[in-house]
Amino acid sequence: MKDSAKSTSDNFPKLSLEAHRGGRGLYPEESIAAMKNAIDFAKVTTLEMDCHITKDRKVVVFHDDYLNPKFVLKPNGTEISDKDKPLRIYDMLYKDLVKYDIGSKFYKEFPEQKKQVTRIAKLADLI
């Protein structure tokens, strides 16, 4: 029985170690800073990210298709309220989208995440 267990594990492919959303527990998710930090981890083999297209056809790196009020601040530094219409990325021009801060607001689900003013990046800038 030991021999068959060994041969089964030998046939398993090696697993990839993924920095999901760039390692959002440490840096603002999907940010250039998060991706650069993830690359520094010797065992990370995959940078996982999501992309969306703005109204003016810019490809940006962000998980949600809208600006999530849980961790995004308006350009003036205030919170996105329930009264604000959903701020969908595909409805926004990049020049307006890049004014929002995705890294300064405390996010209780990731208390160790570094807080820093962070803007949504274009995929071309991240690469």
- Each domain of the chain, given as residue ranges in start order, spans 13-126
Contact 113, 102 (CB under 8 A): no
Cα 123–chain centre separation: 12
pLDDT digit string (tens) for 57-114?
Answer: 999 999 999 999 999 999 999 999 988 879 999 999 999 999 999 999 988 888 888 8
Q: What is the mean pLDDT of residues 49-58?
A: 98
- Separation between Cα atoms, residue 29 and residue 70, nearest integer Å: 12
Higher pLDDT, 55 or 111: 55
Spatial separation of the C-alpha atoms in residues 8 and 2, rounded to whole Å = 10
In the predicted model, is pLDDT for residue 5 greater than 60?
no
pLDDT score for 24: 83
SS3 37: helix
Rounded CA-CA distance 38/123 in Å is 16
Is 0.85 surpassed by the pTM of this model? no
Strands 59-61 and 46-47, by their bridges, are: unpaired
- Other C-beta atoms closer than 10 Å to the C-beta of 79 total 12
Is CATH 3.20.20.190 correct for 13-126? Answer: yes
